[in-house]
Structure 1
Amino acid sequence: MSSQRRPSADARESDYRILHEADLRDYLAGVPEVAARLGGSPASWSISEVGDGNLNLVFIVKGAGGGVAVKQALPYVRLVGESWPLPLSRSHYEYLALTHQARLAPGLVPVVLHHNEGLALVVMELLEPHIIMRKGLVGGTTYPRFDEDVTTFLARTLFFSSDLAVTAAEKKDGIAAFAGNHALCKITEDLIFTDPYRVAEQNRWTEPWLDATAAAFRGDLDLHVAISRLKLKFLNAPEALIHGDLHTGSIMVTAGETKVIDPEFAFYGPMGFDIGAVIANLLMAYLASDGHERSPGERRAFEAWVLETVESVWTEFSRKFLELWRSEAKGDAYPVTLFEGEAGAARLETERQAYMAGLFEDTVGFAAAKIVRRILGLAHNIDFELIEDPKRRAVCEARSLRLARAMMVEAVSFGSIGAVTKAARDVRDWRPDFA
Structure 2
Amino acid sequence: MSAYRALNDGSLPEFLGSLPQVKELLGGEPAGWTVEEVGDGNLNLVFIVRSPKTAVVVKQALPYVRLVGDSWPLPLSRSYYEHMALVEQGKHAPKLVPKVYHFDRNLALIVMEYLSPHIIMRKGLIRGIEYPLFASHIAEFMAQTLFNTSPLATTASDHKRRIWAFADNIELCKITEDLVFTDPYRIAKLNHWTSPDLDEIAAQFRRDEPLKAAVQRRKLQFMTSAEALIHGDLHTGSIMLTPTDTRVIDPEFAFVGPMGFDVGAVIGNLLLAFYAQDGHEARVYARSPYRHWILMQVEQVWRLFSKRFIELWDKSKSGDAYMPELFQEPDGALAFAAEKQRFMRNLFVDTISFAGIKMIRRILGLAHTEDLESIEKPAMRAKCETKALTLARRLVIDAERLTGISDVTSAARAIHASS
TM-score range, shorter chain: over 0.9
Q: What SS class does the counterpart of residue 147 from structure 1 fall into?
A: helix
Would you say 1:367 and 2:336 are equivalent positions?
no
Deviation at 1:337, TM superposition (A): 2.4
Q: For 1:241, what is the secondary structure of its paired residue?
A: strand
Find the residue that maps to 1:15 and give its secondary structure.
Answer: coil
Q: Secondary structure at the match of 1:249?
A: coil
Aligned AA (1:48): E
- Output one character per residue of 1:279-315: Cα deviation in whole Å (capped at 9) or x when no partner: 0011011111011111122212211111011000000
What residue in structure 2 maps to residue 8 of structure 1? none
CA distance in 2 between counterparts of 1:256 and 1:76 reads 36
How many angstroms apart in 1 are the aligned matches of 2:118 and 2:281?
Answer: 24
Q: Distance in 2 between matches of 1:329 and 1:430?
A: 50
Amino acid in structure 1 at the alignment position of 2:190: Q
Q: In the TM superposition, what are the counterparts of 1:51-200 in structure 2 within 5 Å?
A: 51-200=39-188
Q: Return the alpha-carbon distance in structure 2 between the equivalents of residues 127 and 337 of structure 1.
A: 44
Whole-angstrom CA distance in 1 between matches of 2:291 and 2:393: 22
Bigger CA drift: 80-89 or 333-342? 333-342
Compute the displacement of 1:42 (Å): 1.1
Aligned-partner Cα distance in 1 for 2:62–2:308? 38
Aligned mate of 2:268, from 280, 284, 289? 280
Deviation per residue, 1:347-394 (Å, 9 max, x gap): 110010000000000000000010000000000011000101010000
Does 2:348 match 1:357? no
What's the CA shift for 1:329? 3.8
* CA positional deviation for 1:41: 2.1
In structure 1, C-alpha distance between the alignment counterparts of 2:198 and 2:128, rounded to whole Å: 26
SS at structure 1 position matched to 2:330: helix
For residue 417 of structure 1, the aligned residue among 375, 395, 405 is: 405
Offset at residue 414 of structure 1 (A): 1.1
- What one-letter code is carried by the residue in structure 1 that aligns with 2:372? F
Aligned twin of 2:378: 390
User: Following TM superposition, by how much is the alpha carbon of 1:113 offset from its aligned partner in structure 2, in angstroms?
Assistant: 0.4
Residue 208 of structure 1 aligns with an amino acid whose one-letter code is P
Query: Are 1:238 and 2:240 counterparts?
Result: no
Deviations 1:187-206 (A, max 9, x none): 00000000000000000000
Q: Which amino acid aligns with 2:67?
A: L
1:50 and 2:34 correspond: no
What does residue 211 of structure 1 align with?
Answer: 199
Q: 1:376 aligns with which of 353, 361, 364?
A: 364
In the aligned structure 2, how far is the partner of 1:100 from the partner of 1:19?
27
**Aligned mate of 2:254, from 266, 269, 272:** 266
1:15 offset after TM fit, Å?
1.1
| Mapped pair 1:304 → 2:256 | no
Structure 2 unaligned residues grouped into runs of 5+: none
Match for 1:47: what amino acid? V
TM-score for the superposition, normalised by structure 2: 0.99
Q: Tell me the amino acid that sits aligned with residue 187 of structure 2.
A: V
| TM-score (ref. length: structure 1) | 0.96
How much has 1:412 moved relative to structure 2?
Answer: 0.8
Amino acid at match of 1:383: D
**Equivalent position to 2:313, from 305, 325, 333:** 325
The farther-off stretch of 401-410 and 32-41 is: 32-41
**Do residues 426 (structure 1) and 407 (structure 2) align?**
no
2:21 is paired with a residue of what secondary structure? helix
2: CA distance between counterparts of 1:99 and 1:34?
18
Q: CA RMSD in A?
A: 0.7
1:35-84: CA deviations, max 9, x gaps?
12212221121100000000000000000110000000000000000000
Q: Matched residues in 2 for 1:200 and 1:79: separation?
A: 16
2:22 to 31, 34, 41: 34
1:301-337 residue CA offsets vs partner (Å, 9 max, x unmatched) = 2111110110000000000000111111411111222
Q: Among residues 14, 24, 31, which one is paired with 2:12 in the alignment?
A: 24
Superposed structure 1 runs of 4+ greater than 2 Å apart = none
Judge which range, 335-344 or 244-253, deviates more.
Answer: 335-344
Q: Which letter maps to 1:268?
A: V
SS in structure 2 at match of 1:341:
coil
Letter in 2 for 1:210: L
Distance 1:152 1:401 in 2: 29
AA aligned opposite 1:306: I
